[in-house]
Amino acid sequence: MAFRWEEYFELAKKINETFKGEAAQRTVISRAYYSMFCLARDCISLKNWEYEVHKRDIPIELYKGKRG
């Protein structure tokens, strides 16, 4: 079963309505951003477009899970 990123975004909205303060704002921004990023990534994947997310920005050792 695929993860439903729309629900992750809805959670961000509920957190925003319920909690106040910097920690809540950071959490909301992070969850909203990541949910939209993943929705876009999945949309690209469904259309069979080529993409290499972050591969050029992250040292290959980190990308492959090898931490120094």
The 10s digit of each residue's pLDDT in 2-38 is 888 899 999 999 999 999 999 999 999 999 999 998 8
* pTM of this prediction exceeds 0.75: no
Q: Are 22 and 3 in contact, with CB atoms under 8 Å apart?
A: no
Spatial neighbors of 16 by CB under 8 A, at least 6 apart, are: 24, 25, 28
Ramachandran category for residue 63: left, alpha or beta (phi over 0 → left; psi -120 to 50 → alpha): alpha
Nearest-CA neighbor of 7 among 31, 24, 29? 31
Q: Are 31 and 11 in contact, with CB atoms under 8 Å apart?
A: yes
